[in-house]
Amino acid sequence: MGITLSIRPKLEELRSRGVETALTVGGPKIVIAGAGLMGASMGQIFARWGYLVTLYDIAWEGLDKGRELIAINQRALVSQGDLSGDLSRKVLSRISYTTAIDAFKEADFVIEAIVENLGVKLDFWKEASRLAPDEAVLTTNTSGLSITEISGAVRLPERFCGMHWVNPPHIVPLVEVIQGKSTAEETVEAVREVALSVHRHPVTVRGDPRGFLLNRLQYAVLREALHLVENGYASVKDVDDVMKYGLGMRYACIGPFETVDLGGLDTFYRVGSYLFADLSDVKDVPEPLAALYREGAFGTKSGRGFYDYGNGGAERAIEKRDKDFLKLAKCLYEDI
Ligand SMILES: NC(=O)c1ccc[n+]([C@@H]2O[C@H](COP(=O)([O-])OP(=O)(O)OC[C@H]3O[C@@H](n4cnc5c(N)ncnc54)[C@H](O)[C@@H]3O)[C@@H](O)[C@H]2O)c1
C-alpha cells in the first residue's frame, strides 16, 4: 500500500501555477534544521524556487550567522547580475528564522543539516518527527552517517530519506537521494521531485552504502593522490594540476563510464589488467593527511593545510573557488 505525502499535490500545484505565482501567494512549506554553511545556502535556493522557508536552529547565534551568510550570497548574486534586486528581496522575505521546535508542525518537507554527530541527530529526529505532520517528507543532509541507523529515531521512518547536497549547495547542482532500509519508494520519488523543482540534479543511491556515491569516488581518488605524494612520484601541486587541467575538466562533462566508452573498452581493459594491481589499497588514513591532522593544520579554516593560507589566503581561496564554480555551472547547466 502506498503512503500519502503532502508535498506531492503541492509540487503539482507549483508546476501548474508557476514559480512567479508561488512567490506571491505561498508555496510548499519547508523547514530546514541547522542554519549553518549548508542550511543557510539551501534556504535561499528553496525560497528562490517558490517554497516558504523556515530556518530552525538550536541557537540564535546560528540563525544570525545564517542570516548573514544569506545576505552575503544575495548581494553577490545581485551584483553579478544573476538575480534582480526585486527577486532577491522576495527571496529574503520568504525566509523566516526560529529557535522554536514547534516549527516542524507546519512542514511539508524537512531537511536536517545540523552538526554531523549521530547522537545529536538521533535526539533531534526523535523530537522533530514526533511534531511533524504524518504526511511530511523528512530528510537528512548527513555526509555519510547511515540513513538506516538515523531512521531508528524517526517516527514513521518510511517517510525518511537521505538528501545529500554538495558544498556550496547554491552553486553545485548534484543531490544524492539515499534510500534507507525503511524508506518507501514514494519517499525517494518525492525527494527526487523536490530536488528537480529547485533546479538541482538528483541521483538515487540504493542499499545505504557508507559514504554514498560522491564520497566513495572522492576518497578513492584522494587515497591514490596521497599515495603518489607519499612515494615521491609528484608534488601536491602537480597532483592537483592533473585533476584541474586534465581529469577534472573531463569529468565536468563526461563520467568514468562514458570515458571508457569513448576511449575504447579494449584499451581500458588492457591497461586495467596491469594497473589495478598497482594502485594503493591502504586501509588506514595515509600519512601525509594524518600528519597534518596531528599538527592541527586543517586547511583554510586554520590557515594551513597542504598549502599555506596566511595573509587573507583563505578568503581568496574560497572566493576564487565560488567564482570558478559559478562560471563552470553557468557554462554547463541552465537555471543554476
Ligand atoms: N559543510 C559541508 O561541506 C557539507 C557538505 C555536505 C553535507 N554536510 C552535512 O551537513 C550538515 C551540516 O553541516 P554544516 O557544514 O552546515 O555545519 P555548520 O556547523 O555550519 O552548521 C550546523 C548548524 O546546526 C546547528 N545545530 C547544532 N545542533 C543542533 C540541533 N540539535 N538542533 C538545531 N540546530 C542545531 C548549529 O547551531 C549550526 O548553526 C552535517 O551533517 C554535515 O555533515 C556538510
pLDDT at 278: 98
Query: Once rounded to an integer, what is the mean pLDDT over residues 254-278?
Result: 98
Lining ligand 1 with CB less than 6 A are 33-39, 57-59, 62, 113-116, 120, 124, 141-143, 165, 167
Query: Ligand 1: which residue has its CA nearest to atom 8?
Result: 143
What is the CA(189)–ligand 1 centre distance, in A?
A: 25
pLDDT at 1: 63
**Candidates 70, 143, 149: which one to mutate for ligand 1, based on the most atoms within 8 Å of Cβ?**
143
**Candidates 114, 117, 125, 139: which one to mutate for ligand 1, based on the most atoms within 8 Å of Cβ?**
114
Using CA atoms, how far apart are residues 66 and 35, in angstroms rounded to an integer?
Answer: 5
What is the CA(134)–ligand 1 centre distance, in A?
A: 25
**Candidates 37, 149, 171: which one to mutate for ligand 1, based on the most atoms within 8 Å of Cβ?**
37
CA dist list (Å): 327 to 5, 43, 268, 321 = 37, 22, 32, 10
Neighbouring-strand partners of residue 33: 56, 112
Query: Domains (ranges, CATH) in the chain?
Result: 7-205 (3.40.50.720), 214-332 (1.10.1040.10)
115 phi and psi angles, rounded to 5 deg:
-55, 145
pLDDT at 284: 97
pLDDT for 334 beyond 80: no
pLDDT at 332: 85
Q: What is the mean pLDDT of the chain?
A: 95
What is the CA(121)–ligand 1 centre distance, in A?
A: 10
Using CA atoms, how far apart are residues 33 and 63, in angstroms rounded to an integer?
Answer: 10
Neighbouring-strand partners of residue 63: none
Query: Once rounded to an integer, what is the mean pLDDT over residues 261-281?
Result: 98
pLDDT for 90 beyond 70: yes
CA dist list (Å): 205 to 35, 121, 212 = 26, 21, 7
What is the CA(114)–ligand 1 centre distance, in A?
A: 4
Query: Ligand 1: which residue has its CA nearest to atom 18?
Result: 36
Query: Once rounded to an integer, what is the mean pLDDT over residues 118-130?
Result: 98
Query: Ligand 1: which residue has its CA nearest to atom 3?
Result: 167
Task: Output the pTM of the full model.
Answer: 0.94
Q: Give the residue with greater pLDDT, 315 vs 147.
A: 147
CB crowding 57-66: b at 16 or more within 10 Å, else e: bbeeebbebb
User: Could you give the 3-state DSSP secondary structure of residue 123?
Assistant: helix
The interaxial angle of helices 85-93 and 37-48, nearest 10 deg, is 110
Is residue 312 exposed (0-12), middle (13-18) or buried (19+ Cβ within 10 Å)? exposed
Query: Ligand 1: which residue has its CA nearest to atom 7?
Result: 143
